């Protein structure tokens, strides 16, 4: 581990918030535009409530308008799709975040597909997924984008690096793999059916643990 560097994620986040605040201020002063984020929560999941509140605080810190919409757990898909349509048409709203997971009775894919792709800040809309894998501009999922920012903080040029991504989830594993491919890395995705995952990891220059469970990568 000689020469290893610990990445200071809090410092990177603070610098990013400063840049976002400056951009939001510039939009207001020069163009009269107030950026706005709408968060939609269905039901009373405690973790989801905490996440949505944290987004509202983050918006307040950087000068972005925040709109919260809370539907009861028993709300049907029709009510949710109607709300999404309203937010798509609302000029105050530049980004829409539908907090997942949704109740089992609601078809998540239909809801995500109903979002205006330009307002899909999570980057889950099929059009944004296609743009990501095609290398075209679009909304990118925040956690993979954050991982790439942290990597570039210690290695600005990732070209030629061998990267291993542990996990193939649609939210983190697959999107970060697409971003690493776009950064000219050689990418392998390790999953539950992979043969010799430890051996694959040992040869990597970059390992991204996107399994959602701690301590999955041991010292060996």
Two domains, one topology: 9-120 and 140-209: yes
Structurally, what CATH architecture does the domain formed by 140-209 represent? 3-Layer(aba) Sandwich (3.40)
pLDDT of residue 213: 75
Q: How many CA atoms lie within 13 A of 155 on its CB side?
A: 18
Asked if residue 61 lies in contact with residue 91, where contact means CB atoms within 8 angstroms, the answer is no
Exactly one of 8, 26, 55, 145 is catalytic; which is it? 55
> Would the pTM count as exceeding 0.85?
yes
Q: Is 122 a catalytic residue?
A: yes
Q: How many CA atoms lie within 13 A of 83 on its CB side?
A: 22
Q: Can you tell me whether residue 1 is helix, strand or coil?
A: coil
Q: Is 55 a catalytic residue?
A: yes
The domains of the chain are located at 9-120, 140-209
Q: Is 145 a catalytic residue?
A: no
pLDDT of residue 2: 52
Q: pLDDT by residue for the chain (220 residues), tens digit each?
A: 456 778 999 999 999 999 999 999 999 999 999 999 999 999 988 999 999 999 999 999 999 999 999 999 999 999 999 999 999 999 999 999 999 999 999 999 999 999 999 999 999 999 999 999 999 999 999 999 999 999 999 999 999 999 999 999 999 999 999 999 999 999 999 998 999 989 999 999 999 998 877 777 788 8
Exactly one of 94, 99, 119, 120 is catalytic; which is it? 99
Exactly one of 94, 119, 120, 122 is catalytic; which is it? 122
Structurally, what CATH architecture does the domain formed by 9-120 represent? 3-Layer(aba) Sandwich (3.40)
User: Edge-to-edge strands of the sheet including 162-166?
Assistant: 186-190, 162-166, 206-209
Instruction: Enumerate the H helices of 63-162 as residue ranges.
Output: 77-89, 108-114, 126-134, 142-154
């Amino acid at each position: 581990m000689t020469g290893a560097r610990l990445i200071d994620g809090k410092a990177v986040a603070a610098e990013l918030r400063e840049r976002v605040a400056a951009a939001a201020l510039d939009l207001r002063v020069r163009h009269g535009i107030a950026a706005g984020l709408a968060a939609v929560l269905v039901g009373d999941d405690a973790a989801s409530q905490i996440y949505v509140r944290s987004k509202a605080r983050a918006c307040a810190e950087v000068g972005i308008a925040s709109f919260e919409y809370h539907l009861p757990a028993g709300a049907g898909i029709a009510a949710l799709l109607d709300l999404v349509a309203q937010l798509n048409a609302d000029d105050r709203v530049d980004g829409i975040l539908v907090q997942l997971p949704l109740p089992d009775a609601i078809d998540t894919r239909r809801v995500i597909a109903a979002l205006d792709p330009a307002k899909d800040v999570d980057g889950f809309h099929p059009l944004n997924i296609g743009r990501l894998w095609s290398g075209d501009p679009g909304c990118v999922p925040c956690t993979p984008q954050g991982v790439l920012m942290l990597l570039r903080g210690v290695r600005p040029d990732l070209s030629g690096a061998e990267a291993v991504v542990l996990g193939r989830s649609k939210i983190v594993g697959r999107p970060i793999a697409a971003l690493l491919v776009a950064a000219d890395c050689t990418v392998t995705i390790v999953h539950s059916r992979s043969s010799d995952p430890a051996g694959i990891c040992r040869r990597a220059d970059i390992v991204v643990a996107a399994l959602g469970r701690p301590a999955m990568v041991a010292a060996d």
